[in-house]
């Protein structure tokens, strides 16, 4: 597979690299390093760690500027929805990041370029690469501009400040009204090192599983699982009409 032109991606993120090696490392999955140690001595996991912190910082700044009347708790919910694995993977797909990933043949054949976990991690690594490439001359200005470019529309369309995302509460209210039952959540998997743990949580109604969510914390995973369950319930209701 020939590599797509980097300038197309760079135009989408609004940044061109002074040191192309930083970009190359950001799109290098550990499976590629395992197969090509001489070509790629480093993969992108350390960059993910930095990118996660940079993204949190910039998103926090952006939403505080936009939602001046919101409490800390409501701002936290908005930030969690914007930096969730699912949202990061969506952004990665929008800019076509999967096409640029360097990964091992086995991971590639198993659909690695479309996996939410790999895409979200790669986007964080890309954000770190932008910061590392520009910090000496521009501080945080370049990475701030790129993140604002990538997430600006999502921030602008966050549900009104009066009703911030809380899928768990919404799901519990619906289930309580319809079935007089409680919603239960169970951690079914944990992945990654301690500094970048990813949880997978299943949501149950009447002992039936209605969806699974993944996230960087148990709360984030439960919110994502609840969102998926709400979609499933909506489909179920439509089928009864």
Which whole-number Å values give the CA distances from 166 to 112, 136, 216, in the listed order? 30, 40, 17
Beta-bridge partner residues of 143: none
114 included as an active-site residue: no
72 included as an active-site residue: no
Cβ-Cβ contacts under 8 Å for 143 (sequence gap 6 or more): 54, 58, 127, 130, 131, 134, 135
Using a 10 angstrom Cβ sphere, with 0-12 exposed, 13-18 middle and 19 or more buried, the burial of residue 170 is: middle
Beta-bridge partner residues of 202: 186, 212
Q: Is 190 helix (H, G, I), strand (E, B) or coil?
A: strand
Q: Which residue is catalytic, options 52, 74, 121, 220?
A: 52
DSSP letter for each residue of 101-134: -B--HHHHHTTGGG-HHHHHHHHHHHHHHHHHHH
- What is the rounded distance in angstroms from the CA atom of residue 63 to the CA atom of residue 49? 22
Q: Which residue is catalytic, options 48, 124, 220, 224?
A: 124
Q: Which residues are catalytic?
A: 52, 124
């Amino acid at each position: 597979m020939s590599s797509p032109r980097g300038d197309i991606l760079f135009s989408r993120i609004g940044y061109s690299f002074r040191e192309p090696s930083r970009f190359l490392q950001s799109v290098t999955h550990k499976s590629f390093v395992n197969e090509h140690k001489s070509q790629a001595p480093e993969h992108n996991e350390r960059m993910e760690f930095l990118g996660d912190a940079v993204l949190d910082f910039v998103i926090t700044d952006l939403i505080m500027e936009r939602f001046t009347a919101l409490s800390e708790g409501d701002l936290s919910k908005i930030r969690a929805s914007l930096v969730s694995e699912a949202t990061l993977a969506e952004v990665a797909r929008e800019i076509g990041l999967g096409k640029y990933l360097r990964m091992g043949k086995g991971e590639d054949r198993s659909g690695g370029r479309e996996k939410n976990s790999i895409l979200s991690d790669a986007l964080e690594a890309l954000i770190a690469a932008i910061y590392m490439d520009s910090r000496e001359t521009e501080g945080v200005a370049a990475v701030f501009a790129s993140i604002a470019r990538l997430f600006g529309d999502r921030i602008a369309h966050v549900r009104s400040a009066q009703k911030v995302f809380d899928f768990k509460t919404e799901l519990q209210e619906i289930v309580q009204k319809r079935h007089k039952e409680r919603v239960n959540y169970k951690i079914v998997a944990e992945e990654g090192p301690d500094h970048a743990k990813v949880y997978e949580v299943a949501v149950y109604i009447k002992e039936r599983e209605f969806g699974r969510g993944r996230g960087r914390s148990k709360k984030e995973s439960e919110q994502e699982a609840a969102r998926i369950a709400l979609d499933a319930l909506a489909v179920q209701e439509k089928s009864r009409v």
